[in-house]
Structure 1
């Protein structure tokens, strides 16, 4: 029985050394330059990197991984696992243009993890030389471009002592207003969650074989849990083939995603909801006419609120290309549970719920089900204050138990106890407090928001994502997935809602008109008067590495007066 993903990698390399493990689209274009790596080559590179780490006595230490998008990250990550070194994926710097906030975060992560070595690509390692003032002293941290580690070191690799409880890597949760928290993901956590992903997404040997071994197409960042645990590691778990490209290339031309799906015909591909919206905005009739999406079995949608309107429009728009509504696959997960917690049944389509109950229609305001717990996982809805389990249909905190739940937070016993050791009245064992709100209906999980993001005005609860959706659909100038709603203390007036939305700079001339439209839409739909609507430039609103809006950070910027609004925002 495999003890780690390294065991599986070596097995695949022995049985199918020439099989392509990953291909990387260098320019993001399916007809452009392609780099690929076989299982035999990947195993050799992982063992060579592992041997280099072992020779320097680094087993048990932490290694910061700073790679640009590409295949070298995968070899470096698996090399850490093969050496018994704890990998710490990070966002790579981009030379002198790397912004101060990103550098500060990188330094915090390195310090918190107590990293003793940095693995990266040549350009990244060279760039770090211009940033020494932002990093720990060079003498304290070894830096190496893993491309320069010779292949022949592979022969010197020594199999490390690993068990299910050995920490494989630290997945740092995103957050700009609090100290970084590194989730300790063990080798046992990884294997269990890969099992769940495989079962929940229907990655059977027959299904993969029917797609010629093509498992994923993904542009998701590999330093984040959804891009790493899903497309990258489920591929090596199963010995399949996946196609990757850079997130930047997707953002530059969203059509590249569906073009790659059309060309390589994978079983599974997906992204957060905003990516589906971006794809829709660039879906010209000519583009749709050139696609072949009939083989796409699982179009997963997670990491941020899943919109019923997005699902409907995506299915309708790409139906002429063969896309089936049944392929839509809302799901739910978080880093503290390794990745996947709930997902639907492949081919069943999304479950929508409105005031009249479940239906097969496409009401834009319907709640979207995120599926059922993976086998071996327990999901409980509890009152966050009394810790009592709530019945079906009642909203409370989502709590999770099972072998995929991580070990805790790195060197943070207090946060570990608060988050990973929650009890529920009448139930044995400990559960993970997710901080997410939701409810269960006939076993299906519906996620409604975050506990700390809830907006309470005049005694009424408002979920920020509902306000954000109403704003984004009210006027086309607002960018999808780039709106933040939060509340502020207005003194004698009490809590008041504020909405910040990204829009194109050329919308400044119509700022007043846009804000009026947004105000009316929120007032009509939610019966809520917005204190202020602030329009800002693209890229202004803070987001996590997976694309989630950081509402608390946006609120802090609003209160500090550092948002730099477009035009003059209208005050209420």
Structure 2
């Protein structure tokens, strides 16, 4: 029985050496350059990297991974696992706009993880060399472009002594409500969560055979848990094939995603809700006429609020190309649980819970049921008592997928990973997310720290953001931030910041009024202020989640980029 992904790589390289593990679309286009990595080649390259690390006595230490999108990241990551080195996936500095943010995060991660070596691509390593005088954090750290490690090094690889409790990698959280923390994911956590993903998404041997092993298409960033644990590592776990391409190529032309799904006909592909919205904008009748999406069985949607309106519009728009609404697969997970906690039922439509107004487009979308071996309870975060079905509370999770804790942060680990609950055995992970259970289905309502209490009533920013976004088509989906500020005698009052499409700047006053009216009608709230800003300027995490705290700070510091704003009332 395989103890780790390292064991599984050996098995696949032995029994199906020529099978393509990863296919990478270098330009994002199916008819462009395609790079393929077989299981035999993957084993050779990862063992070469591992041997290089072992020869330098780095087993047990941390290695920062700074790669551009492409198969070399996978070689480096699996090289670390194969050497008993703890991998630390990071975002490489790239482009002027992202350089400062990426550098800041990189320096923070190097310092926090105490990385001893940086593995990366040629261009990244060269760029770090040029930046060395501005990066004292690099002093004493070896930097290597893993492409330069020869295949012959693989011959000296020694199988590491791994146990289920051995640390595999540090998955740094996105920092949507706090500074990023390194989640210590063990080899046992990885194996258990891959089992959960496999079972919940229906990746059975029969299905794999029917699809000829073509199971995934993904553009998701591999340095984040959704892109790494899902498409990349579940591919290795199963011994199948995944087609990958760069997130940048997706953002430049979202139609590439649908085209790749049509071309390679995978079973599973997905992303956050905003990705479906972007794809919708480019799903023209002419494009859909060329597509066949009928093979798409699991269109997973997670990492941010799942919008009922998005599911409906995507299903209706893509139906002529064979997409079925039953393929939508809302799910819930987090880095602290390795990844997946709950997921939908393959072949069944998403579970919707309509609001009192009966509007289907604003219905709450269920995120599925827990995987086998996972316990999910809703708890009172203050009293640490389980709440009855249907009542909102903090989502607590217990499973073998729950990580060891936060790297070198005993206090945060004790607060988040060591919760106990009367009537339940074992310790629970406090997710910091709010939600409720209905007939076994999990509904996620928001983040505990983002909760707004106005006039004694609880309001979730996601609800206000959705009401604002649906008030006018010029407001970009997933690009609205709601938070509260002290308005003096009136107490806490909501503020809405929303990104506005450039062509609608002349309508800003009208749109502002519509937002106010929508919030008033749906939530009974008087909005303190509405600020419409330029596209791409609302603070987000590296994984695309809205940073409401940072948005609030920018608002109070008057550092937003408004295209139109009302006076505070």
TM-score scaled by length of structure 2: 0.98
Matched with 1:85 is 85
362-371 vs 10-19, which moves further: 362-371
- The C-alpha deviation readout for 1:426-461, integer Å capped at 9, x for no partner, is 222110000011111111111111111112221222
CA contact (8 A) 1:166 1:186 kept: yes
Measured in 1, the distance between the counterparts of 2:535 and 2:287 equals: 25
1:501 CA drift (Å):
0.9
Please, which moves more after superposition, 202-211 or 130-139?
Answer: 130-139
Greater shift, 116-125 or 503-512, is seen at 503-512
Contact persistence 1:453–1:551 (CA under 8 A)? yes
Q: Choose the corresponding residue for 1:434, options 431, 436, 451.
A: 431
Q: Secondary structure at the match of 1:474?
A: coil
What is the root-mean-square deviation in Å for CA atoms of aligned residues? 1.5
How far apart are 1:315 and its partner, in Å? 1.0
Query: Are residues 131 and 280 of structure 1, via their aligned partners in 2, closer, same or farther at CA, if it must alter by over 3 Å?
Result: same
> By how many angstroms is 1:566 displaced?
1.4
CA–CA separation in structure 1 for the residues paired with 2:159 and 2:233: 20
Report what 2:465 is aligned to. 468
Query: Contact 2:350–2:365 at 8 Å: present in 1 too?
Result: yes
Aligned to 1:157: 157
1-structure distance, mates of 2:566, 2:40: 58
Whole-angstrom CA distance in 2 between matches of 1:60 and 1:70: 26
Shift of 1:537: 1.5
Q: Does 1:57 align with 2:54?
A: no
Q: Find the counterpart in structure 2 of residue 269 from structure 1.
A: 269
Structure 1 position 356, deviation (Å)? 7.7
User: 1:322: which partner in 2?
Assistant: 322
- CA 96–57 in structure 1, closer or farther in 2 if over 3 Å, else same: farther
Summarize the Cα distance change of 1:464–1:223 in structure 2 as closer, same or farther, 3 Å threshold: same
Deviations 1:196-225 (A, max 9, x none): 000000001110111111011000000000
Shift of the 538–355 alpha-carbon distance from structure 1 to 2, 3 Å rule, reads closer
The 1:461–1:81 alpha-carbon spacing in structure 2 relative to 1, beyond 3 Å, is same
More moved, 227-236 vs 463-472: 463-472
Superposed displacement of residue 178, structure 1: 3.7
Counting only pairs closer than 5 Å after superposition, residues 138-157 of structure 1 correspond to structure 2 as 138-157=138-157
Contact 1:542–1:554 (8 Å) recurs in 2: yes
Indicate the larger mover: 167-176 or 402-411.
167-176
| Contact 2:176/2:545 (<8 A) preserved | no
Shift, 1:288, TM fit: 1.5
CA distance, structure 2, for counterparts of residue 570 and residue 319 of structure 1: 44
State the alpha-carbon separation in 2 of the partners of residues 16 and 111 from structure 1.
Answer: 41
Q: CA shift at 1:349, angstroms?
A: 1.6
Structure 2 equivalent of residue 400 of structure 1 = 397
For the residue of structure 2 that corresponds to 1:445, the secondary structure is strand
**Partner residue in 1 for 2:441:** 444
CA offsets 1:137-174 (integer angstroms, 9 cap, x no match): 54411000000000000000001111000000000001
Equivalent residues in 2 for 1:77-476, closer than 5 Å: 77-94=77-94, 98-175=98-175, 178-354=178-354, 363-476=360-473
Show CA shifts across 1:501-548 (max 9, x none).
112344333222221121112212222111111111222112223321
Which stretch shows the higher mean deviation, 168-177 or 376-385?
Answer: 168-177
Q: Deviations over 1:294-321 (max 9, x none)?
A: 1110000000011111111111111111
User: Structure 1 CA distance, aligned partners of 2:379 and 2:177?
Assistant: 27
Moved more, 69-78 or 136-145: 136-145
Measure, in 1, the Cα distance between the counterparts of 2:471 and 2:152.
Answer: 61
**Pick from 490, 493, 497: which aligns with 1:493?**
490
Distance 1:296 1:283, change over 3 A: same
Q: Which runs of 5+ in 2 are unaligned?
A: none
The 8 Å contact of residues 122 and 147 in structure 2, kept in 1 or not, is answered as: yes
Distance 1:328 1:94 in 2: 33
How far apart are the structure 2 equivalents of 1:138 and 1:333? Answer: 34
TM-score by length of 1: 0.97
Q: 1:483 aligns with which of 476, 480, 483?
A: 480
Q: 1:427 to 1:323 in 2, by over 3 A?
A: same
Contact in 2 for aligned 1:515/1:570 (Cα 8 Å): no
Kindly tell me: are residues 232 and 345 of structure 1, through their superposed partners in 2, closer, same or farther at Cα, counting changes over 3 Å? same
Contact 1:96 1:130 in 2 (8 A): no
- TM-aligned CA deviation for residue 177 of structure 1: 6.5
Distance 1:380 1:138 in 2: 44
In structure 1, distance between residues paired with 2:303 and 2:158:
38
Mapped pair 1:74 → 2:74: yes
Residue 507 of structure 1 corresponds to which residue in structure 2? 504
Kindly indicate whether the alpha-carbon contact (under 8 Å) linking 2:12 and 2:39 is maintained by their aligned counterparts in 1. yes
Check if 1:519 corresponds to 2:508: no
Alpha-carbon distance between aligned partners in 1 of 2:96 and 2:139, rounded to the nearest angstrom: 22
Task: Please report how far the alpha carbon of residue 37 of structure 1 lies from its aligned counterpart in structure 2 after TM superposition.
Answer: 0.6
Which has the larger displacement, 517-526 or 377-386? 517-526
In the other structure, the counterpart of 2:6 is 6
* Deviation readout 1:115-154 (Å, 9 max, x if unpaired): 0100000001011122224433544110000000000000
Distance, in Å, in 1 between the alignment partners of 2:355 and 2:137 is 59
Secondary structure in 2 aligned to 1:316?
helix
Give, in angstroms, the shift of residue 492 of structure 1: 1.9
Count of residue pairs the alignment pairs up: 569
CA distance, structure 2, for counterparts of residue 29 and residue 95 of structure 1: 22
1-side partners of 2:320 and 2:275: how far apart? 20
